Structure 1
Amino acid sequence: MQTSRPSPRSLLGLDSVNLLMADVRDGVGPYLSVFLAGSRHWQPGPIGIALAASSVAAAICQIPAGLIVDGSRWKRLMIAVSGIIVGLGCLAIVMFRGFWPVLAAQAMLGAASAIIPPAIAALSLGIVGRRLMPARISRNESFNHAGSFAAAGLAGGFGHYLGLNWIFYLVCGFAVASAIAVTLIKPAEIDHDLARGGESQGNAGKPVPFRALLRRREVIVFLVSVTLFHFGNAAMLPFAGQVLAHDHPGEDTVALSACIICAQLVMVGVAWAVGRAMKAGIGRKRIFLLAFAVLPIRGVLFSFTTTAYGVVAIQLLDGVAAGIFGVIAVIMASDLTSGTGRFNLMQGLVALAVGVGGALSNVVGGYVVQAFGYPVGFLSLAAIAVGALLVFLLLMPETLPDADTESGDPSGMEAG
């Protein structure tokens, strides 16, 4: 049980894991789309299936992952092993050229990555406590986006000068570094009852039944909203990467890295701003609505441009939407499960919604593009994003607890 303030070593471990895991938890992301289109000459439809395979595998594993994290005291080991499996999956994609081996490797990546976000969030809650959780998650996301920024810069340089294969090797390097960094977190400083969403430190009460959680209307509305958010969002950057690979061969990897770097810079600032806004007592729903509002604008703008500079500029909007989502989704999950002992299960459900939305976006969007072209594909995603905005605006209640107007020190140094 947590009995004192977390040590600087454990807090450094949390910071380091979030920084280094940024390039591991999502695998190679949109670079896979460029790799398969540019190096393997795949069509948009099969590329969409390959991208969706990771999302589907992650979706299937999310609920078991949440349940395992809720009940396990081996969270550090789970993070390290999951990262190494992601690295091995990236190596398999480079080594094997066929459709089915790539599909299998993507499924392996998705299954392994399912464990990482809930385990990191559980460690954060178990170390700093509920009062400091909003500020801690804001800090986690700032480090995560900073890590993605650094990884994108390295990936762009490696891909351009050494070849696209080196982007996959880079993920392997970050996976090993992440496994080392997680050992900095001291096991004795993790309150595992609190980490699963118990009402207070040392609360050993049984978690509420799974069915009882799913009977809550606000939980269902939140999960539907998250699914629609990613249905409208997930395929936009991969489509943009395919457009660049087709229209600007040789510039696609550098331009895609520029997209990610610029967006991640925005996300760092947005994650910090979201933390400050929550500390000032601004409601979660009001903040999240901004992220929903950005998506359709981004889709419409993408449909009108094929230039590298235009794509990079539009991708800045993703920095706003993703920066908000990364913080608020975890905090709203915490709000909705306060005292239930089901925080990590709820994270699994949120990640399941993300996976389902991402899979639908890549598969449906991929075949829309193949049949009607990229502009129509972007506009179809924008239309789905409008639906997501309306569902969240009209049906989702505010989750901010009445007393939660002070979130404390983002580093967690105040926790006791």
Structure 2
Amino acid sequence: MTCNSRKVSGGSLVALASLNFFLADARDGLGPFLDGFLATHGWSPMSLGIVATLGGLLGLVATPLFGALVDGSPHKRLLVAVPVVLITAAALWTLASPGNAAVFGGQSMTAIVGAVIGPALMGLTLGLVGEQAFPNQVSRNEFWNHTGNVFSLACIYIATIFFGLTGVIAMMILTAAATLFAVVAIDPRQIDDKVARGLKPDDGVPGPSGIAAITRSPGLILLAMTLLIFHFGNAPMSRLIAQNFSIQLGTPFRTTAIVTGVSQLSMIGVALAAPFLINRWGLASAFVIALCALPIRGAIAGAFPSFTSIYPVQFLDGVGAGLIGIATPIAAERILSGTGRFNAGLAVVMTIQGIGASLSNVVAGWLTSLGGYGLAYWVHGGVAVLALLLFLPMRHLIAPHRT
């Protein structure tokens, strides 16, 4: 298949970079701070696991529906903007009243509306730059996303020192507003809706239905199963570390800012290195490195319970999750190229990996209650070995070369 690229104005590309920078904070609401905040308000690891699982399950239901919506909608900017407003409102509700109604209600809304942002952002990116430039643009998106996360974490760390919870609220409102300005700054005339769904510019109609395109793509199914296993192992690790040290140190926002900031700094380096890695050694190499990072991460976290262990542990989180985050949409785009079902297919992959992430939260809570945080680290870190064993013999289907 002949690859295509598109000429895009510098203004739209700057706006896309700004969108990823500010969206890093605005798309998740309280995000990594939720567990530390609630843990210091009396919520147990099991209760927090149930909250995360409920949100994950609701997101699972919504994601494939939203993926199909993104494929068919010419309003991809709106599909980013509306969730940001609702997610910010839900986070402010939780901060104001961290009881059952706000936590379960707010996180449920965040999970449902947040499910559209991932497919919408990938579709918007593909529609702007085209297939040929898509892998490098995904890496640039991730670079700005993680840079935005580090900036946000630093601002929240400082804001809590000087202004407490009021500083956190102000940061959330400012980043949500900046995200909306960035969305508006992208020129909608430069988004090719056919290219955005995985069609060539001259193709008139999509290929098979979303379900048919997915079921006829063994590579996509194998990709989804690999990610299900990986995210079952990886998803609760940072949450557990944030809970553990937030309780020990009594500073949930600052502790979580450090824990998350280390992994985000690592992800910035990964985003810069990923294009070279993929172009030089192939897409499969990114998956192999990511899948190897998680067992090592779990072993270090389980063997060394001191706070200083978070630096190598979270560095490896940046390597594993960072590479997976870049490689996944690239793999899905290559597998589904020409079908016109890219966003629907990517949404299905995200749904299946979300099953692993959601189920892992309750398991992690149970393991922590059974044998402490160390047991949970060992078990969830070791799970990634199974993902590596699945990926290696099937890597030519999961991570194909560009044709």
Give the TM-score normalised by structure 2.
0.94
- Given the alignment of the two structures, is residue 226 of structure 1 paired with residue 205 of structure 2, yes or no? no
Which residue among 8, 17, 23 is the counterpart of 2:19? 17
Give 5+ residue unaligned stretches, structure 2: none
1:29 alignment partner, SS class: coil
- Aligned runs of 1:254-273 on 2, under 5 Å? 254-273=254-273
- For residues 164 and 48 of structure 1, the distance between their equivalents in structure 2, rounded to whole angstroms, comes to 24
- Going from structure 1 to structure 2, the CA distance change for 1:313 and 1:161 (only over 3 Å counts) comes to farther
Find the counterpart in structure 2 of residue 147 from structure 1: 148
CA distance in 1 between partners of 2:397 and 2:274 (Å):
16
* CA shift for structure 1 position 398: 4.7
CA shift digits 1:53-74 (9 cap, x unpaired): 3222221111011000000001
How far is the alpha carbon of 1:238 from its aligned partner?
0.9
Structure 1 residues 125-181: Cα deviation after superposition (integer angstroms, max 9, x where no partner): 111110111111111111111011111111222334433564355333312211111
Q: Whole-Å Cα distance in 2 between the matches of residues 350 and 272 of structure 1?
A: 25
Counterpart of 1:307, as a letter, is S
Q: Using the TM superposition, name which of 61-70 and 153-162 deviates more.
A: 153-162
Residue 207 of structure 1 deviates from its aligned partner by 3.3
Partner Cα distance (2:121, 2:105) in 1:
26
Q: Residue 78 of structure 1 corresponds to which residue in structure 2?
A: 79
The answer for the alignment partner of 2:158 in structure 1 is: 157
What is the alpha-carbon distance in structure 1 between the residues aligned to residue 255 and residue 98 of structure 2?
25
Partner of 2:105: 104
| 1:258 Cα deviation from its structure 2 partner | 1.7
Q: Is the 8 A contact 1:335 1:399 kept in 2?
A: no
Aligned-partner Cα distance in 2 for 1:189–1:13 = 12
Residues 33, 168 of structure 1: alpha-carbon distance in 2 compared, 3 angstrom cutoff: farther
Instruction: Name the structure 1 match of 2:352.
Output: 353
**Where does residue 277 of structure 1 map in the other structure?**
277
DSSP 3-state at the match of 1:367? helix
2:325, 2:186 → 1: CA distance? Answer: 22
In 1, are the aligned partners of 2:5 and 2:133 still within 8 Å (CA)? Answer: no
Distance 1:140 1:274 in 2: 12
CA contact (8 A) 1:155 1:170 kept: yes
Equivalent AA in structure 1 for residue 20 of structure 2: N
Closer/same/farther in 2, CA of residues 169 and 367 from structure 1, 3 Å limit: farther
Contact 1:25 1:116 in 2 (8 A): yes
CA displacement 1:283-314 (0-9 Å, x = unmatched)? 21121110010001111111123322221332
Q: Is the 8 A contact 1:91 1:168 kept in 2?
A: yes
2:210 — aligned with what? 210
Pair 1:270–1:65, CA change in 2 (3 A): same
Map of 1:238 onto structure 2 = 239
Matched residues in 2 for 1:386 and 1:277: separation? Answer: 22
Note the C-alpha offset of 1:397.
2.5
Q: 2:128 — aligned with what?
A: 127
Map 1:294-333 → 2, pairs under 5 A:
294-333=293-332
- Distance in 2 between residues matched to 1:99 and 1:388, nearest whole Å: 36
Distance 1:17 1:335, change over 3 A: same
**Whole-angstrom CA distance in 2 between matches of 1:305 and 1:128:** 45
Distance 1:354 1:11 in 2: 29
Q: Which residue of 2 aligns with 1:343?
A: 342
Amino acid at match of 2:37: F
Structure 1 residue 402, shift from structure 2 partner: 5.1
Encode CA deviations 1:197-253: one digit per residue, 9 max, x unaligned.
01x114222231233222322211110111111110011011111110232223x43
Instruction: Verify the 8 A CA contact 1:259 1:316 in the aligned structure 2.
Output: no
Q: % of aligned pairs identical?
A: 32
Deviation at 1:372, TM superposition (A): 2.0
Report if aligned partners of 2:237, 2:377 keep a CA contact under 8 Å in 1. yes
CA distance in 2, matches of 1:354, 1:128: 26
CA distance in 1, matches of 2:84, 2:236: 24
Q: Which amino acid aligns with 1:11?
A: L
Question: Retained in 1: the 8 A contact 2:283–2:400?
Answer: no
Q: Within 1, Cα distance between the matches of 2:259 and 2:321?
A: 13
> Kindly tell me: are residues 173 and 207 of structure 1, through their superposed partners in 2, closer, same or farther at Cα, counting changes over 3 Å?
farther
Task: Name the structure 2 match of 1:411.
Answer: none
Separation in structure 2 between the aligned mates of residue 195 and residue 49 of structure 1, nearest angstrom: 36
Q: Which moved more, 1:313-322 or 1:331-340?
A: 313-322
CA positional deviation for 1:339: 0.4
Task: Number of aligned residue pairs: give it.
Answer: 399
- State which drifts further: 270-279 or 320-329: 270-279
State the secondary structure of the residue aligned to 2:396: coil
Measured at CA, do residues 61 and 264 of structure 1 come closer, stay the same or move farther in structure 2, by a change above 3 Å? same
Change (3 A) 1:377 1:160: farther
What value does the CA root-mean-square deviation take over the aligned residues? 1.9
- Evaluate the alpha carbon distance shift between residue 69 and residue 95 of structure 1 in structure 2; reply closer, same or farther with a 3 A threshold: same
Q: Which deviates more from structure 2 when the two are superposed, residues 310-319 or residues 210-219?
A: 210-219
Given that 2:32 and 2:260 are in contact with CA atoms closer than 8 Å, whether structure 1 keeps it comes out as: no
How far apart, CA to CA, are the structure 2 residues paired with 1:10 and 1:351?
27
Contact 2:79 2:120 in 1 (8 A): yes
Question: Normalized against structure 1, the TM-score is what?
Answer: 0.91
Partner in structure 2 of residue 371 of structure 1: 370
Which 4+ stretches in 1 moved above 6 angstroms? none
Counterpart of 2:394 in structure 1 is: 395
CA distance in 2: counterparts of 1:95 and 1:247, whole angstroms: 24
Unaligned runs of 5+ in 1: 405-416
Q: Deviation of residue 326 (structure 1)?
A: 1.5
